[in-house]
Amino acid sequence: MGTARTGRFFYKLLGGFLLTSGIPTLFISISFGLLAQNALEQTLKDRTREAALLVAGYLRSFFETSAQSLESVAQDPLVREYLSPGRTRRAAELTADVQRLLYSAARTNQTELFLIPRSFSPQGLGPLGTAVLPVTYTGEPYAHWGILGALERLSQNPGAPVPRSIILFGRPHTTETVPTSLALGYSLYPWGNLIMDIKRSAISERLTDAKETFSELLLVDDSDCVLFDMSRPYREGQFEDTAQVPPGTSIAENRNRIETNIPLRENLRLIVFQPLAPIAAQSTALRTITYISALLSLLVAVTLSFLLSQTISDPVQSLVRVMGQVEKGNLGARVAGHRHDELGVLIKSFNRMIAQVQRLMEETVEQQQLLRHAEAQNLQARIDPHFLYNTLNTIKSIAKLHGISDIAKISTRLGKLLRSGFTTEGEFSILEDDVDLAQGYLEIQSIRYPGKFTYNLRLESEVLGVTLPRLLIEPLIENAVVHGLEKKLGPGTIGLYACRVENRVKITIEDDGLGIPPHRLR
């Protein structure tokens, strides 16, 4: 039976070691692999976000610069004079000056400027531009469509300030030889409009470095129309479902790429995609290393757990065998071993314990014999309380027969005091019974010392029936008589008062004796 118990102990130790070392090691290794993979993804995600923010800032700066250039041209007096019906300069001269102004503002072949009067009448001057005027800018039937329609609706807003604000419009026309991605429009109501076409090449050349960073880069408007696609221009002008790309930077649901959605202007968003393929090989290698490390760690943990369990369970098994022999009465059995750890201390202690068992048993028997002898002597020395009660009753009867009332009163009161001291029934009594014992003591002392003192007892009705520890008041009264009044010259007074104060009972014992000397109060 002892061997079976020890076997279970060994397997419990082995299981405990595996639970506290092998499984946590395996868990930590796998967790480390997952955390490392997440760290790689987070690093790539952060880099993608930072690169996207850099591109967004560059595009914002480009659009802001273009808008400022457009606004500068729109506010030039030459443009206002050209569109005004009340112009004073010759038409040819004014047209040449405005044309030079437009070419100067365009500066490069990546943007085109068009000044479009509101009405193409014979009295008015025609549209001007740095390139051939697109069909969609020629008025009817396009006056209420595209960017012209947007500027028309903006100019009809009675709450808008004059001159009108700049608007950004995507894909203003698609039939030209050189694709135009965006257009900036400025309303010069009521005379006309100023439009700046931003060619696709203007954006593409500024995003050359982004081609090495992102797999896809899109500019889309609020209607999800693709205005610019860095890698696949044929998709420009098509509508893409980008609603599933949340604002900010995140990993796609299928976990194949990182998505970034950044607003550039009120109706323009930058969307970039970065595949997770660059870290796929690193993640695979990291997982392989993690799994191999986990298996090796588990193997080492199992081996060490087995050895440690055996080291601990072998001395315990020997101890169990010897304990079985001791249970059968063989007090000479000992556990062999010379360990220098806690188990060695336990074995040595067990051997010493067996050697002392017989001596301790003999000492216990001897102590029990001495105890019984002491109890017998104590019983013999005790006076039977009933004998005292009967003797006092005899004295009281003889005193009454001879008419000695003081002796009878003393015998009665002394019997009550002795009976209260000998009784073992309960630790509490009611206030009236304790006061009655104290009064009996005062009556005995009054007979002993006639005229030495008087006493006053006053109990309020609210405190009657209150319980308190037995013999609480009588020792205090005795202390007042012995230490307060015995050495006093002349008669004294003792008072005992009980009343209720709020939720408590106040008991006052006072005397007018000598009191406690000041040096004893220090």
| pLDDT per residue rounded down to tens, the chain (522 residues) | 444 444 676 777 667 766 776 677 767 767 766 777 777 777 777 888 888 888 888 888 888 888 888 889 988 999 888 888 777 778 888 889 889 988 888 866 678 888 988 765 445 578 898 888 887 787 666 666 777 777 877 776 655 554 446 777 777 766 555 567 788 888 887 788 888 888 888 888 888 888 778 888 888 888 888 888 888 888 888 887 776 777 777 766 555 777 888 888 778 888 888 777 666 666 677 777 777 877 777 777 777 777 776 677 667 777 777 777 777 777 667 777 676 666 777 777 777 787 777 677 667 767 888 877 766 555 444 445 545 555 655 665 666 666 666 676 676 766 666 666 555 556 788 888 888 888 888 888 777 778 888 888 888 888 888 888 877 888 888 888 888 777 788 888 988 888 988 888 889 988 888 777 777 665
**Same domain membership, residue 187 and residue 80:** yes
Distance from the first to the final alpha carbon of the chain? 71
Cis check: omega of the bond before 172, within 30 degrees of 0: no
**pLDDT score, position 5:** 47
Tell me if 343 is assigned to some domain: yes
Q: How is 264-294 classified by DSSP, letter by letter?
A: EETTEEEEEEEESHHHHHHHHHHHHHHHHHH
Say which DSSP state 244 is in: T
Of 241, 240, 273, the closest CA to residue 258 belongs to 273
Tell me if 232 is assigned to some domain: yes
Of 240, 183, 244, 198, the closest CA to residue 217 belongs to 240
**Same domain membership, residue 186 and residue 115:** yes
| Tokens 């503002």, residue located | 105
d(CA 62, CA 70): 12
- Cα–Cα distances in Å, from 429 out to 78, 415, 436, 495, 503? 118, 18, 11, 21, 19
Tell me if 12 is assigned to some domain: yes
**Same domain membership, residue 410 and residue 435:** no
CATH of the domain at 486: 3.30.565.10
**Same domain membership, residue 98 and residue 18:** no
In the structure encoding, which two tokens stand for residue 419, read together? 């009976």
**pLDDT score, position 298:** 75
Residue 405 belongs to domain spanning: 383-424
d(CA 255, CA 44): 13
**Same domain membership, residue 347 and residue 238:** no
Please identify, among 203, 231, 259, the residue that sits at the C-terminal boundary of a domain. 203
- Residue type at position 80: R
**pLDDT score, position 108:** 66
**Same domain membership, residue 270 and residue 288:** no
Please identify, among 181, 203, 225, the residue that sits at the C-terminal boundary of a domain. 203
- Cα–Cα distances in Å, from 85 out to 46, 91, 93, 192? 57, 11, 16, 12
Tell me if 269 is assigned to some domain: yes
Beta bridge partners of 220: 226, 269
Q: Dihedral, CA atoms, 399, 400, 404, 410, nearest 10 degrees? A: 70
Q: Are 151 and 185 in contact (CB under 8 A)?
A: yes
- Per the structure, the count of domains in the chain is 6
d(CA 25, CA 16): 14
- Cα–Cα distances in Å, from 329 out to 63, 245, 326, 399, 497? 102, 84, 5, 71, 70
**Same domain membership, residue 95 and residue 17:** no
**Same domain membership, residue 182 and residue 91:** yes
CATH of the domain at 98: 3.30.450
Q: Are 30 and 294 in contact (CB under 8 A)?
A: yes
Please identify, among 174, 203, 232, the residue that sits at the C-terminal boundary of a domain. 203
**Same domain membership, residue 228 and residue 345:** no
Q: By CB neighbour count within 10 A (0-12 exposed, 13-18 middle, 19+ buried), where does 285 fall?
A: exposed
Strands of the sheet with 504-511, listed across from one edge:
453-459, 492-501, 504-511
**Same domain membership, residue 283 and residue 318:** yes
Cis check: omega of the bond before 233, within 30 degrees of 0: no
Q: By CB neighbour count within 10 A (0-12 exposed, 13-18 middle, 19+ buried), where does 332 fall?
A: exposed
Tell me if 375 is assigned to some domain: no
**Same domain membership, residue 132 and residue 53:** no
- Residue type at position 193: N
Tell me if 509 is assigned to some domain: yes
pLDDT digits 0-9 by tens, 325-338: 777 777 667 777 67
Q: Are 124 and 139 in contact (CB under 8 A)?
A: no
Tell me if 376 is assigned to some domain: no
Tell me if 162 is assigned to some domain: yes
**Same domain membership, residue 116 and residue 80:** yes
Residue 501: which H helix or E strand, with range? strand 492-501
